[in-house]
């Protein structure tokens, strides 16, 4: 994940609250006759070239780059007369 500002491209009101969505592969062994699960291995995160981010305000989910690009298009204005709450 990048150390860059995010801005949700969907609701365009959130820059601070996000989920990162991670996929895991977890192998397990089944009994061929009964179908019972006999062993679960530890989950392994599946490496992804780009993180998947979810906005916690509107639940929009997309590539990290979409959030970064939106933040670059609409950078947060940081002046003494503008207050975001």
Chain residues in the site for Zn ion (CB under 5 A)? 8, 10-11, 14, 55, 57-58, 60
List C-alpha distances in Å: 63 to 50, 73, 81.
7, 16, 33
- From the number of C-beta atoms within 10 Å of its C-beta (0-12, 13-18, 19+), residue 63 rates as middle
Q: Which is nearer to Zn ion, 14 or 63 (CB)?
A: 14
- Smallest distance, Zn ion to C-beta of residue 20, A: 15
Q: Which is nearer to Zn ion, 44 or 59 (CB)?
A: 59
Q: Which is nearer to Zn ion, 55 or 66 (CB)?
A: 55
């Amino acid at each position: 994940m990048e150390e860059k500002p995010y801005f949700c491209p969907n609701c365009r009101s959130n820059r601070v609250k996000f989920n990162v969505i991670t996929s895991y592969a977890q192998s397990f062994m089944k009994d061929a006759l009964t179908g019972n699960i006999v062993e679960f291995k530890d989950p392994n995160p599946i490496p992804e070239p780009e993180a998947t981010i979810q906005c916690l305000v509107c639940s929009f989910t997309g590539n990290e780059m979409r959030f970064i690009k939106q933040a670059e298009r609409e950078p947060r204005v940081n002046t003494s007369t503008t207050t975001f709450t």
